[in-house]
Amino acid sequence: MSIGAEVPRDRAKRLLLGRGRYVDDISLPRMLHLAFVRSPYAHARIEAVDCTDARALDGVVAVLTAAEIADAVASWRAEHKLFPAMAAPEQFALARDIVRWQGEAVAVVVADSRAVAEDGAELVAVTWHELVAVTDAKKALEREAPVLHDDMDSNLAFTTEVASGNTKAAFEKADHVVEEHFRFHRHSGVSLEPRGIIAEFEPSENRLTVHQSHQTPHQQQDLYARLLSLPEHKVRVICPDVGGAFGLKHHLMADELVACVAAKLLARPVKFIADRLESFLADIHCRDHEVTARMAFSPSGEILAVEVDDLFNAGAYGQYPRTSIAEGNQITRLTGAPYRHEHYTANLRMAFLNKSILGHIRSVGHPIACAVAERLVDMGAAKLGLDPIEVRRANYLHGDDFPRTSVGGVEFEYLSLRGCLDKALTMIDVPGFREEQANLRAKGIYRGLGVGTFVELTAIGPEYYGQGGQHISAQETCLLRLEASGDVRCYTGATDQGQGIDTGIQQVVSDTLGVPLAAIEVISGDSALCPVGGGSWGSRGAALAGEAALRAANTLRRNILSIAAGLLQKDVAALNIEDGTVVEAGISHMTVAEVARIGHFQPYAIPDGIPADLTVVERYATKDRLFLAGNGVQIATVEVDVDTGIVTPLRHLVVHDCGRILNPLLVREQVRGGVVQGIGSALYEELRYDDDGHLLTGSFADYLVPMAGEMPDIEVAHLENPTATSELGAKGAGEAGTAGAVSAILNAVNDAIAPLEATIAEVPVTPPRLLKALGQI
Amino acid sequence: MKAPDFDYLRPETLAEAMDMLSRHGEDGAIIAGGQSLLPLLNFRLAGPERLIDIGRLAALKQIVDGDGFVEIGALVRHCDLASSEAVARAFPLLRQAVGHIAHPAVRHRGTIGGSLAMADPAAELGACCLALEAEMSLQSVRGQRWVRAVDFFAGIYETALAPDEILTAVRLPRRGPDSVQIFSEVARRRGDFAIAGLALVADNHMANPRLALLGVADRPILAEKTMALLANNMAAADQAIELIGNEIDPAEDPAYPPAYRRQLVRTLLRRTLMELLP
């Protein structure tokens, strides 16, 4: 069996050897380079743009502003029909009249090299009239705040309430209530490879070919076709090796669209590679929520009710095409979801601000929902003098609770929370830790242990965007082609940015078809070659593309066996394929290669009326199932230096259930990478702006990413409860690490400083914030 | 993030380099390891017309184990400093400090002269030079002059170097056999710029203490009041720890407020003095 085996991915070796082929490694004849003129202000009126000097510079081919591209590209609005009341102001590829965030592009210089383009960009003279910037949601929603968008009455982009039971009465009756005010600051996905594109337009054929560092080639094909008024079959989007994406590469980005416009207008290939400063300025950001939440308990520690108020500091616009609502939506639906309470109310207010657009980055909303609930559980346990681990166990949904629709409206087929907790407790000696903790505290060393429980929404079904009106596929299709040699090419709509889904799909095909792994090549990331599909987002590869591959492999297997049965005059039901050979009760009859050779070159030998297609296509789409929920528990231990405020992670363990596991090695690495990103947002990563909306963290000296030296060993174990909704049984696995890590770290820090009667509820937990919480400064 | 256009000059001798600087000093910049200048160029925060690459000046790559002093050439790289036996014997402070400078890749290119001439207030070596009473050799076609470290640093990214001068070497007077030398700093992650750091150099029983701080002012500074209080008086340790936090006046910083840096230097001094307790 290949499924379940620890197969290393071929791609990893190539990338580690430096033989990767990223967008910036590609160079086309007559290629030009872009540099953008970006707004230095968060909010300003563009009074004039003088491009005379820039256009006169040697090596500059063109300078384009909003006026020059107006006829070449359409505008857009980030609408979602499931949230019809959400504001969706008009967006343009280059700013017109007003810029609404620092870094918004107002002009682009196209030149022979990036260096010359940057020289040209310095020569573009913009006359600005600075306007008052709105940089904080609380202030943005005040009556006297300046309103960002002319067609809106206020900066309130959206507000909603999720409610179940009678929360108000439950809190009034409750014996014990804990409440906390949380701040989750803004950060981003920060892929090692920045955004990048090469756009190439052939006017005689009206053909746009794009190489882009992206997760969703078919979505981009559709968007470029519509926004540039091109026939869709004349647009091809190829995603070569992608050096990390984490959600920031599954949107339309105005910069890359401008590259396509420039290529079309100039009829020459155009390259744009975002540098690190413009990545921080103009990438999609995430989080930036202020949450006030309460949890009500019975005297025995039963969770009775949860109330959440989320103030969402969004960006200047909604992200397109998915909109920015999902993070707030996840928080209002997921907070406290692992627990069996009946009364729940969550309010969301989402405000537009003069900051870069905020959208979907790995584990959208989950880390916040999880940190809020898990912190409140610890606070409640402390208040009641109960063991927080036992409070969790007693309140977890379990056993007969399933299937269940949570009070937040999320469907759970099955969650294995108690199992995950029990497994985790075999990996760490909690009583031993507590004893050591007490001994060390006597010496002035403060260590803490924190638990984080998470549910993980994966494999999003087609209803969410289908009913939303977006052209985003949640259906997956797999095309298998048996070559004349008996080898197999597998074309998938899923894409791989380093997570290894190509290898997982290869394993599914290998097992289902009965041919060796080495005989299968997976081809992905090309909108012209691969079947229409969703690419990569929301942890969908294994569950959706894996199931499609399984179906296609079953069909191809049936056809191979039918041909063999016809040739051999055997009963097809008695035949099987093992290791590339057609066998009957263990006896080899012919190889798949022989079937392929005859199938392609001597088809006259095949009896009529049997399925003999050697290229097959199958699809998989779910129905009436918004998500597949995975779950797990994380436990972190940390040491807090109470004099410097530095937090050092010591141990971090994860027990995770994502259904059937295609490849434990790759799933563990996904979880580890996710934990590292979670620790990043818990301790290091923050996009800081000043009150005028100027970004203060424009380089890696100021924006701290988690580095190997500070990371603990991350121990990962799995329970395997396959979903019954598919034959394969896999759920997604990409959100788990990030979803739970913030909560485990935040709880561990609070556990460490509990003897000092201090608490903290702001992440990242920076040293000054921690010392302030400790009353040291 | 591409550097603006510049001319590139590569002198083979110090004399040639000084000659180039005498002609181009105002609009030229010296490049050695490039660990500070190249990012500035790429960010377009600097735009010199000429880069004068002194990387071939072999005379500046020497460590002279002299009588009463050690002289370190400006082109000595951080990794060379870390592996020099002469430096380790005489100035353990430097070896401790170099371990905090960035990451191996940077330490293999960055030079002591580059770091000092850049005069980043958070750099480790500037504070070490202050603590060790270093003198800097500044050379130009007009001649050579020696400038004390305390006079060399003039402000954030500012030094006593005239536009036509090259920093060629740093001379460190040897300490007595009982010399105490302790370097410590606080950074968020290994290799980050320090938020604050402290270099203590003293003779036995806290005689002639020199306490240099980095990251807390516009240049590396000496905590002179605290030095005076501590001199020959370890019993004043608690007072000194309090004083050093009040003695400094860190600038407002959105990431690390002044109160935080005061707290850090107190902690660093307390931990440093703890090491000296029997």
State whether A688 and B255 contact (CB < 8 Å). yes
Determine the residue of chain A that is closest to B42 in CA distance: A115
Is residue A640 domain-resident? yes
Query: What is the token pair recorded at B230?
Result: 């501590």
CATH code where residue A492 lies? 3.30.365.10
From the list A565, A543, A668, the residue with the least C-alpha distance to A610 is A565
Tell me how far apart the 2 most distant CA atoms of chain A are, in Å: 86
Query: What is the token pair recorded at A143?
Result: 């009556």
Class in CATH terms, B7-53: alpha beta
State whether A696 and B267 contact (CB < 8 Å). no
Provide the 10 A C-beta neighbour count for residue A322. Answer: 27
Per the CB < 8 A criterion, the answer to whether A623 and A645 are in contact is: no
State whether B193 and A643 contact (CB < 8 Å). no
Q: Does B264 touch chain A (CB under 8 A)?
A: yes
Per the CB < 8 A criterion, the answer to whether A537 and A216 are in contact is: yes
- Write down how long chain A is: 777
**Same-domain pairing of A87 and A220:** yes
The helix/strand/coil state of A331 is helix
At residue B278, the pLDDT reads 73
Q: How far is CA A259 from CA A46, A119, A167, A253, A535, in A?
A: 22, 18, 51, 10, 22
Strands (E), chain B: 7-9, 28-31, 50-53, 63-65, 69-73, 135-140, 143-148, 153-155, 158-159, 166-173, 180-186, 196-203, 207-214, 221-222
**Same-domain pairing of A664 and A759:** yes
CATH code where residue A210 lies? 3.90.1170.50
B193 chain-A contacts, CB cut-off 8 A = 701
Nearest by CB to A688, from B4, B191, B254: name it: B254
Min Cα separation A236/chain B (Å):
29
Place of tokens 């809106």: A152
State whether A709 and B254 contact (CB < 8 Å). no
Determine the Cα–Cα distance for residues B77 and B99; give it in Å rounded to an integer: 13
**Same-domain pairing of A424 and A479:** no
Q: Does A704 touch chain B (CB under 8 A)?
A: yes
B88, containing H or E segment: helix B85-90
**Same-domain pairing of A532 and A565:** yes
Provide the 10 A C-beta neighbour count for residue B204. Answer: 12
**Same-domain pairing of A567 and A707:** no
Is residue A737 domain-resident? yes
Q: Does B273 touch chain A (CB under 8 A)?
A: no
Determine the residue of chain B that is closest to A764 in CA distance: B255
State whether B189 and A115 contact (CB < 8 Å). no
Query: What is the token pair recorded at A10?
Result: 């071929």
Place of tokens 């770290």: A745
Q: Does A768 touch chain B (CB under 8 A)?
A: yes
Q: Does A644 touch chain B (CB under 8 A)?
A: yes
A709 chain-B contacts, CB cut-off 8 A = 189-191
The helix/strand/coil state of B85 is helix
Give the type of residue at A531.
P
A768 chain-B contacts, CB cut-off 8 A = 255-257, 260
Place of tokens 């290898």: A503
Domain, as residue range, for A53: 11-131+191-245+249-282
Is residue A560 domain-resident? yes
From the list A490, A495, A417, the residue with the least C-alpha distance to A456 is A417
Kindly report, residue by residue over A532-580, the tens digit of the pLDDT. Answer: 999 999 999 999 999 999 999 999 999 999 999 999 999 999 999 999 9
Determine the Cα–Cα distance for residues A565 and A582; give it in Å rounded to an integer: 9
Measured CA angle at B12 (ends B9, B15), to 5 deg: 95
| Domains contained in chain A, number | 3
Interface test with chain B among A644, A687, A697, by most B beta carbons within 10 Å: A644
Kindly report, residue by residue over A70-91, the tens digit of the pLDDT. Answer: 999 999 999 999 999 999 999 9
Per the CB < 8 A criterion, the answer to whether A266 and A32 are in contact is: yes
Per the CB < 8 A criterion, the answer to whether A242 and A536 are in contact is: no
**Which of the 8 DSSP states describes residue A518?**
G
Provide the 10 A C-beta neighbour count for residue B57. Answer: 22
Per the CB < 8 A criterion, the answer to whether B113 and B81 are in contact is: no
Q: Does A646 touch chain B (CB under 8 A)?
A: yes
From the list B27, B24, B30, B26, the residue with the least C-alpha distance to B10 is B30
At residue A248, the pLDDT reads 94
Determine the residue of chain B that is closest to A642 in CA distance: B267
Provide the 10 A C-beta neighbour count for residue A690. Answer: 13
Q: Does A766 touch chain B (CB under 8 A)?
A: yes
B267 chain-A contacts, CB cut-off 8 A = 643-644
State whether B189 and A704 contact (CB < 8 Å). yes
Q: Does A709 touch chain B (CB under 8 A)?
A: yes
B260 chain-A contacts, CB cut-off 8 A = 645, 767-768, 771, 777
Per the CB < 8 A criterion, the answer to whether B255 and B226 are in contact is: no
Is residue A480 domain-resident? yes
Per the CB < 8 A criterion, the answer to whether A454 and A515 are in contact is: no
> Quick check: bond before A649 cis, omega within 30?
no
State whether A644 and B191 contact (CB < 8 Å). no
Residues of B (157-186) whose Cβ lies below 8 Å from A: 186
Determine the Cα–Cα distance for residues A672 and A657; give it in Å rounded to an integer: 14
B112, containing H or E segment: helix B112-118
A696 chain-B contacts, CB cut-off 8 A = 254-255
How far does Cα A130 stand from its chain's mean position? 35
At residue A764, the pLDDT reads 98
From the list A616, A610, A657, A609, the residue with the least C-alpha distance to A633 is A657
Nearest by CB to B190, from A690, A709, A768: name it: A709
The helix/strand/coil state of B60 is helix
ipTM of the complex: 0.96
B264 chain-A contacts, CB cut-off 8 A = 644
Q: How far is CA A665 from CA A4, A669, B261, in A?
A: 9, 6, 44
**Which of the 8 DSSP states describes residue A232?**
G
Is residue A136 domain-resident? no
Return the CATH superfamily for domain B180-276: CO dehydrogenase flavoprotein, C-terminal domain (3.30.390.50)
Q: Where are the domains of chain B?
A: 7-53, 59-173, 180-276
Query: What is the token pair recorded at A528?
Result: 């012209």
Query: What is the token pair recorded at A189?
Result: 């996905």
Interface test with chain A among B246, B256, B264, B271, by most A beta carbons within 10 Å: B264
Low-confidence ranges of chain B (pLDDT < 70): none
Edge-to-edge strand order for the sheet containing A176-188?
A156-164, A343-351, A303-313, A285-297, A176-188, A762-763
At residue A662, the pLDDT reads 98
Min Cα separation A106/chain B (Å):
18
Determine the Cα–Cα distance for residues A348 and A330; give it in Å rounded to an integer: 10
Pick one of 3.30.465.10, 3.30.230.10, 1.10.3720.10, 3.40.50.300 as the CATH number of B59-173. 3.30.465.10
**Same-domain pairing of A649 and A579:** no
Start-to-end Cα distance in chain A: 60
At residue B190, the pLDDT reads 94
Determine the Cα–Cα distance for residues A288 and A291; give it in Å rounded to an integer: 10
Residues of A (249-308) whose Cβ lies below 8 Å from B: 275-277
Determine the Cα–Cα distance for residues A765 and A397; give it in Å rounded to an integer: 30
Residues of B (41-100) whose Cβ lies below 8 Å from A: 43-44
State whether A767 and B188 contact (CB < 8 Å). yes
Written as one string, the DSSP assignment of A622-668 is --S---EEEEEEEEEEEEE-TTT--EEEEEEEEEEE-BS-S-HHHHH
State whether B254 and A704 contact (CB < 8 Å). no
Place of tokens 């750091």: B197
Strands (E), A275-429: 285-297, 303-313, 343-351, 404-405, 411-412
List per-block mean pLDDT (blocks of 10 residues) for chain A, which spans 777 residues: 93 93 98 98 98 98 98 98 97 98 98 98 98 97 97 97 98 98 98 97 98 98 98 98 96 98 98 97 98 98 98 98 97 98 98 97 98 98 98 97 95 97 98 98 97 97 96 97 98 95 97 98 98 96 98 98 97 97 96 98 96 97 93 98 98 98 97 98 98 97 96 98 97 97 98 98 98 97
**Same-domain pairing of A567 and A503:** yes
Q: Does A118 touch chain B (CB under 8 A)?
A: yes
Nearest by CB to A115, from B2, B195, B255: name it: B2
Q: Which residues of A407-435 are buried (b: 16+ CB within 10 A; e: fewer)?
A: bbbbbbbbbbbbbbbebbbeeeebeebee
Query: What is the token pair recorded at B153?
Result: 């640093």
Alpha-helical segments (H) within A82-135: 114-123
Per the CB < 8 A criterion, the answer to whether B175 and B153 are in contact is: no
A699 chain-B contacts, CB cut-off 8 A = 43
State whether B4 and A707 contact (CB < 8 Å). no
State whether A704 and B192 contact (CB < 8 Å). yes
- Write down how long chain B is: 278
Determine the Cα–Cα distance for residues B82 and B77; give it in Å rounded to an integer: 9
A114 chain-B contacts, CB cut-off 8 A = 2
Determine the Cα–Cα distance for residues A773 and A752; give it in Å rounded to an integer: 13
**Same-domain pairing of A636 and A616:** no
| Domain endpoint, select from A599, A620, A641 | A620
State whether B188 and A707 contact (CB < 8 Å). no
Query: What is the token pair recorded at A767?
Result: 């040293």
Nearest by CB to A771, from B2, B190, B263: name it: B263
**Same-domain pairing of A56 and A104:** yes
Q: Does B258 touch chain A (CB under 8 A)?
A: no
